[in-house]
Structures are given as C-alpha cells and as structure tokens.
A and B are shown apart, each in its own frame.
Chain A
C-alpha cells in the first residue's frame, strides 16, 4: 500500500498493542487500548490534553509500566524485557519529547554525539562528526552545531530533539506533540520534516498531537482518543467525515476558528 508518497507494508506490524490499561491512583488514564502500527506507516493519535496520549507512547518505550495488556514492539514484549534487552530495543525506537528535552549543559553537537558515543563506542571522532553533520543537514540546521540549547528557538529545539533520536537510526519514531507551542509556519515546517524523516530514514511513526493540520499532513491513519479509549480510527477523511461530539469540536476549533 502506498500513501503520502511512501510505502506501507500492511503484512508487517512493528507495534502491536492489545487491551492496554493504565491508572494513576483512582484516575483511569488508559482503558483498553488496541493499536497496530505497520512498517512504513504514520499513525496519528489525536485527543484532548490529559486523555493519556503521552502515557501511551511512554508505555511503548518502556518509561512506564502498564497495569494490564500487552505492548509488542518489533517482536518484543516491552514490559517483559530486562534492562539490557530494553536498552537494545530502545536503540531501534526514537522518542521525540514535547519539551525537546535537550541536555542544556551541552552544545547541539554534543547533544547529538552523546547517544552515539555511548551506544557505538567503536566509532572514531571523524565518523561521529560525519554522522552529526548528516543528521543536522537532514533536519536543516547545520549552522547550530556549536550553539547551546538556550540559544535556539522553540522550533529549532524540536528539530534538534528529532535529530538526536535520528542519530541512532531508529526503525520507529514516537513523536510527543511535535507542533505544540509553535507558530503555524514553524508547525508546517515540522510536519514536512516528519514526512522527510520518514522517507529518508524509512521509519514507522506514532505521532501524538491535538493539531489537526499536523494529523492531516503527516498521518496515514488517525486514531482519536477520548477518556482512555480510541473512539474512532481510519484515514483523516474517514474519521472526520461524520462530525459529531468531540470530533466536531476538534474539527471546528482547528479549521473554522
């Protein structure tokens, strides 16, 4: 299947989530989530703030443990993995934080070199430098290599955050609110970057957002989350064909207001 100019292999599932539950005290955040991500696919998870979208991808990467259900990533049950195996899996899964989470005591170059030096210890300084240059060029910010995170704009920080995950050449990318807090033009540039990353690095992605433009631009499939469950899944057109309740509110806010 071909969508958005890239190839999706519907026979290969890279992430499979079944019957996922997660609560914090009496607050039931996830209440029976099922989701498949196919190779080469971009799935957008849409929902209001506080509906458990970020919790979902933190469970996928193993930062949080589910209360019940299974999360299978690249053939591995995430919550069953020991430390070393979980780290090996994380090399294949990139996570872009909403806050970018750049190391503020390091320059951009050092931020990018940091995971590389610790995970590929046999790389020479020249190889590391070359890899950093390639990634900075891919995200369109080669001139920032010696800058500190505090000297960057919000959009640049997001790009560097994405670059830092790309440096390990992941097979899957998880984006947590990539366009949150950005102006429409920068958001558009970031959407283009997400598509470019997918085409150049051949990744499969889950994008958490409440930005419908982002969902429309980058999503091959959209899943709308409300009160810890997916209330609708399908292509953007399928999901927003019938506008009622939350779907209507989302659509009206993003495209009419």
Chain B
C-alpha cells in the first residue's frame, strides 16, 4: 500500500482524506484572501467593468431564451391541473411565485456556472500554465486582485441582475402563453402575477443569486488559479469549475429554502 518515488508513505485512503481536507483548507484561505484583497485600494475598475460585460451582457441572450421557454413550458404544464379545478386564473401568480422563488435564481445560476464558470476556469488555468500569472507577480502586480477579485465581484453583482431579468422574461413567456388561451391583458397579467409575491420572496431570490454568484466566482477562480499539468490542467480546471459550482448551488438552494421557509 505504501507508495514510493517521492510520494507520501501513507495508505492511499488516508492520503486522499488528507488531500480533501488540505484542499478544503486551501479554499478557506483563498476566500479569506479574497475578502482581505477586495477592500484594499486600488480597485481595478477597468477589469471589473470588462468582467461585468463578459458575465452579464454576454449571457443575456442565453438567459432570455431559457427564461422565456421556462415561462411558456411551466404555464403549459400547469394549465391542465389548474383547469381541472377551474382555477386557471391562478396561472399568473403560480408562475410568478415559481419563477421568483425557485426557477429564476437556479436557471440564471446554472447558466452562469456552465457558461461563465467554465470560461473563467479555463482562462485563469491557461494563464497559470503559460506563466502569465507568474509574469504579473514578477512585474510587481497583484494577480489575485486583478484576476480573482474583479471576477468574483462581477459574478456576485451580475447574477442577481440576470436573475431578475430571467424572472421578468419567464413571466413574459407565461403571459404570451396565457394570452394565447385566455385573452388577458399584459397589465392585468402582471398585476395578478406579482400580487402574491412578498418582500420575503424577493429577499430570498436576491440572497440566492448573490450567494450563487459568489460561489461560481470563487470556485472557478480557485480552480483556474491553481491549475497545473499543462493543457490537461486547463481542461480539468474548466470542467471542475462547472461541476463543483453546480453541486454547491444545489446544496445552497436546499439550505436557503429551509432557512427562509422557517422565517416565513
């Protein structure tokens, strides 16, 4: 069971458990460094704006399409059940509650984890293995502040905006479907839809989006910043960024729903 050639003499299982906790510690140090660096001047505004453009603007098309389809499909799927009970008038509020409370934060987060998270992981990973991050270090530039802080803040700021946009487009998709069947007006649809949404619903959604954005940013930057083994490492960084981000998003979803439902 013992290994040679410079590797640890511990049994494989013990070494893996050690590795898991060491990585956990590394991530904690990485997050602590983020908070330490984020509030120190100078702020890299140019890079922050560029990242907001990458995260926010460049994800708009995908968020629009998925939001619209979600609204249409959810309405279509809910109509038969509601019509059985003769309460199709509840469709707008049902869709709005589902979209704001659960679907919009989750969909926006999963899109960003897949599209932006993988891109950050690959970009930073590629910079790491081609020594571009070291080149910043030796030029007396703080690569953590320039690369990590800007990307994590951009994700944390843009994801809530994308989430609300996604919710709005989802409701619009639902409106088109409802309008096609029931001839309702846009104003009355949105009046009905948002009548049932409370301040706590908005707070829940906002909390989720902020946390998901932060998670995607930190996970992707950590993976990219610590990439190794050449091009294989770059691919791995991109891949692991997406998988770990999505996994954590679902765990956070469960925790936040429980916390806010206990307040409700």
Bound CA span A168–B146, Å: 19
Q: A168 to B139, alpha carbons, bound, how many Å?
A: 8
Q: Chain B interface: which of A95-103, A135-143, A221-229? A: A95-103
Within 8 A of B (CB), among A87-130: 87-88, 90-91, 93-95, 97, 99, 101-104, 114-115, 118-119, 121
A90–B140 Cα gap in the complex (Å)?
A: 6
Q: Is there contact, CB below 8 Å, between A115 and B141?
A: yes
Contacts of B131 in A (CB 8 A): 97, 99, 101
**Contact of B135 (CB < 8 Å), options: A87, A93, A97:** A97
Query: Given A101-B130, A101-B132, A104-B132, is A164 in contact with B139 using a C-beta cutoff of 8 Å?
Result: yes
* Residue of B whose beta carbon sits closest to that of A94: B138
Q: B6's contact among A27, A118, A164, by CB below 8 Å, is which?
A: A27
Chain B's nearest CB lies how many Å from the CB of A26?
4
Shortest CB distance B226–A (Å) = 15
Residues of A within 8 A of B5 (CB): 26
A195 within 8 A of B: no
> A99-B131, A101-B132 are known contacts. Are A118 and B141 too (CB-CB below 8 A)?
yes
Q: Is B134 an interface residue (CB 8 A)?
A: yes
Specify which of B6, B135, B138, B142 is in contact with A103 (CB 8 Å cutoff). Answer: B135
Chain A residue contacts of B42, Cβ below 8 A: 121
CB of A134 within 8 Å of the partner chain: no
Q: Tell me if B132 and A103 are in contact (CB < 8 A).
A: yes
Bin the interface of chain B by size: 10 to 19
Q: Which of B42, B134, B140, B142 has the most CB of A within 10 A?
A: B140
**In the complex, what distance in Å separates the CA atom of A90 from the CA atom of B135?**
11
Given contact pairs A26-B6, A63-B137, A63-B138, enumerate 11 new A-B contacts (beta carbons under 8 Å). Answer: A61-B138, A87-B140, A90-B139, A95-B135, A97-B131, A101-B134, A103-B132, A104-B132, A118-B146, A119-B139, A165-B138
Report if B7 contacts A (CB, 8 A).
yes
B151 to chain A, nearest CB (A): 14
Complex interface residues of chain B between 1 and 17 (CB less than 8 A to chain A): 5-7
Known A97-B134, A99-B130; contact A115-B7, beta-carbon cutoff 8 A:
no
Are the C-beta atoms of B130 and A104 separated by less than 8 Å?
Answer: yes
Smallest Cβ distance from A3 to chain B, in angstroms? 27
Nearest B residue to A91 via CB reads B140
Asked if A184 CB lies within 8 Å of chain B CBs, one says: no
